[in-house]
């Protein structure tokens, strides 16, 4: 990026990786943070404690109406970066958003596509978009092999079912994380085709024990995944909140990454995503079908 980014929107900024990333970015001179938060009070408390230029943007990604209100609040404000961080990892059978979308798919993918594509015109010349994914999207990993993503079919993903049967909670999550990588790659392709210099990258923070991502899990399961040796057994890169946040912040502000786009990073290292995630036709189909789904839900189309 030619200039230090001035205005950065972070979704899911009040806990876990988003909170730590906000703290890391708050130390960058002249940065203004837009803290995406479901709860105004929690967002206000964070903004007050950062000691930086920060304000709260209330947005509940489980509600497309809330996403639309956030877009209206943002208006035509110029954005130098968007960090698509918010995510859920549900336990048990499928649950649904107020719009009738399976929650993991709706929050982790659909709402972020709705938000970012409608903010595309607000992105400054050298803006950056970073989409937080997970190494679990890749069936080549141990956890990905045990819980491979479902087929990338928007209609099926929106119901949480495959072949008429409910998809397990872990596979709903790995599917959404595959969608994150596909979305990032297709958004990058479209922006470059339009002559934009905005960069778009996907980011895997590794396994970060102790975050709020597993808040819906049972106490026993949350205790289990706090054990780094268990996570390493599944072949996962284990990190700390501070390290993961530092690597994420680097993708947002580091001058050494000027012009670097269409990539997938695991913490500080660029890696190849899964073979499926590199399928351009699948990425295009997911993007187009998600837009059709949004239109069917009455969500306004992106400005042309």
Catalytic residue numbers? 173
Q: Distance between CA atoms of 59 and 63, rounded to whole angstroms?
A: 8
């Amino acid at each position: 990026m030619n200039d230090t980014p001035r205005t950065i929107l972070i979704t899911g900024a009040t806990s876990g990786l988003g909170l730590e990333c906000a703290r890391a970015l708050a130390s960058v001179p002249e940065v203004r943070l837009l803290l995406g938060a479901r709860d105004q009070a929690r967002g206000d408390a964070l903004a007050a404690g950062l000691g930086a230029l920060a304000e709260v943007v209330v947005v509940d990604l489980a509600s497309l109406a809330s996403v639309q209100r956030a877009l209206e609040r943002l208006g035509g404000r110029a954005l130098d970066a968007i960090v698509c961080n918010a995510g859920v990892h549900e336990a048990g059978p499928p649950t649904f958003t107020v719009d009738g979308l399976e929650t993991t798919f709706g929050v982790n993918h659909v709402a972020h596509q709705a938000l970012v594509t409608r903010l595309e015109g607000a992105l400054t010349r050298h803006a950056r978009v970073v989409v937080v994914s997970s190494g679990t999207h890749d069936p080549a990993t141990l956890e990905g092999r045990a819980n491979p993503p479902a087929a990338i079919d928007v209609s099926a993903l929106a119901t949480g079912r495959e072949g008429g049967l409910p998809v397990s909670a872990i596979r709903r999550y790995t599917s959404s994380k595959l969608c994150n990588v596909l979305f990032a790659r297709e958004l990058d392709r479209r922006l470059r085709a339009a002559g934009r210099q905005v960069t778009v990258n996907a980011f895997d923070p590794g396994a970060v024990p102790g975050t709020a991502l597993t808040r819906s899990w049972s106490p026993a399961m949350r205790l289990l995944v706090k054990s780094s040796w268990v996570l390493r057994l599944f072949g996962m890169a284990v990190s700390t909140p501070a390290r993961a946040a530092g690597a994420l912040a680097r993708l947002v502000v580091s001058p050494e990454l000027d012009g670097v786009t269409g990539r997938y990073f695991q913490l500080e290292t660029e890696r190849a995503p899964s073979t499926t995630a590199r399928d351009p036709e699948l990425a295009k189909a997911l993007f187009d079908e998600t837009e059709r789904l949004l239109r069917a839900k009455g969500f306004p189309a992106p400005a042309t």
